[in-house]
Amino acid sequence: MTLETQYKIKSNPNYVKYLRQNSQWYKYLNRNPSYFKNFENTVKEAYSLRLTDRISSAMKTLELLENVMSSLR
């Protein structure tokens, strides 16, 4: 694994956590560092860190608040 890839992984705790839970990624990243983008996308999908996930979470929170406010009336 290249030093650059190692630095990227160690600088993000989510990457380290995911890599420990899914060790097959060590093999992919050791053989071809260009897989890092795929790894990054997989981590974002697994931990719901994508923009669409954040928007849907905010929408759910707003719906919950709306329901609470309507039940208080």
pLDDT single digits (tens) 41-72: 999 999 988 888 889 989 999 999 999 999 98
pLDDT at 18 over 90: yes
pTM for this entry: 0.76
pLDDT reported for residue 59: 94
How many beta carbons lie within 10 A of that of residue 43, not counting itself?
Answer: 20
pLDDT reported for residue 21: 96
DSSP alpha helices (H): ranges in 1-73? 3-10, 13-21, 24-31, 36-46, 51-72
CB 18 within 8 A of CB 24: no
